[in-house]
Amino acid sequence: MDETEVNVDVQNESVTYDVDPDAAANESKEDKFKRLAAARVDKIIGYLESLSKLSSSAYSYTDEQIEKMYAAIQAKLDESKSKFDKNKAASKDHFVFD
């Protein structure tokens, strides 16, 4: 599959995909995963960059606020990552030998 160009505009919370409609209809599951995952990761990175701009001297915050904010983000990252662990997902539904 040809490279897909993804444009992310964090300020307006929009993502555009420059994808040939015919190619998208015939893409493999892996190619579709790669296309969508790349766009979503780029969007998350953009949001994190935007979040880090709050560290400037224009804002006031406490260490506790920062810890709470990053703890919430880390918890969601851990939850999201665990969904990709097929052994853990399977063991929740039924018994499995590792």
> Around Cβ 39, how many Cβ atoms within 10 Å?
19
Specify whether 30 is located in the same domain as 68. no
Identify the CA nearest to 48 among candidates 34, 69, 67, 63: 69
Specify whether 30 is located in the same domain as 65. no
Q: Please give the tally of structural domains in the chain.
A: 2
What's the CA gap between 11 and 86, in Å, rounded? 35
Specify whether 36 is located in the same domain as 69. no
At 23 the pLDDT is 72
**Average pLDDT for residues 66-71, to the nearest whole number?**
97
Specify whether 73 is located in the same domain as 88. yes
Largest Cα span, the chain: 55
pLDDT band (50, 70, 90) for residue 48: very high
Specify whether 34 is located in the same domain as 50. yes
- The whole-chain average pLDDT of the chain stands at 83
Q: Is 80 exceeded by the pLDDT of residue 26?
A: yes
Domain holding 86, by residue range, is: 61-98
At 6 the pLDDT is 57
Specify whether 52 is located in the same domain as 77. no
Specify whether 49 is located in the same domain as 71. no
Which residues have a Cβ under 8 Å from the Cβ of 90 and sit 6 or more positions away? 96
pTM listed for this prediction: 0.65
pLDDT band (50, 70, 90) for residue 54: very high
**Average pLDDT for residues 1-21, to the nearest whole number?**
58
Specify whether 48 is located in the same domain as 68. no
Specify whether 51 is located in the same domain as 72. no
Pairwise pLDDT comparison (26 vs 89), residue with the higher score: 26
Identify the CA nearest to 77 among candidates 44, 49, 33, 47: 44
